[in-house]
Amino acid sequence: MNLKRLLLLVAAILAEVAATLMLRASVSDPVWIPGVVVLYATAFFILGLTQRLGMPLGAVYATWSASGVALVAVLGIVFFGELLSIGAILGIALIIIGVILVESGTPEESETVGAEVTE
């Protein structure tokens, strides 16, 4: 995976995680709602850019969603004092294992999309 695609994927993950944390914060303070909308839109836009650069859809979505779940769960503990059960911890571990398996079975370049899509 080249550095540009990896950085875009990390940016999409961080935008989604920030939006989700703001969504939780908006329960008690609606001032966070505009940030939720902007950051979710940003996350999806950046996710689309990773697709334009030829990252395989399965790898992108698996990494983005699983990383988001794991980070939100951990940051929910830090920022909101939420607790994780043993089952939740096991689930997060299984998600991470699943992403690793998806990544290991994904070719480096998408077979259906070139290195860069031109219109």
Average pLDDT over residues 58-72: 89
pTM (two decimals): 0.80
pLDDT at residue 19, rounded to an integer: 97
Average pLDDT over residues 1-17: 92
pLDDT at residue 110, rounded to an integer: 46
- Give 28's DSSP letter: T
Q: Residue 44: pLDDT above 50?
A: yes
Of all residues in the chain, the percent with pLDDT exceeding 90 is 62
Mean pLDDT for all residues in the chain: 87
Position 12 confidence tier, pLDDT thresholds 50, 70, 90: very high
Instruction: Specify burial of residue 1 (Cβ count, 10 A radius: 0-12, 13-18, 19+).
Output: middle
Angle at CA of residue 52, ends 39 and 35, nearest 5°: 5
Position 7 confidence tier, pLDDT thresholds 50, 70, 90: very high
pLDDT at residue 46, rounded to an integer: 96
Q: Residue 109: pLDDT above 70?
A: no
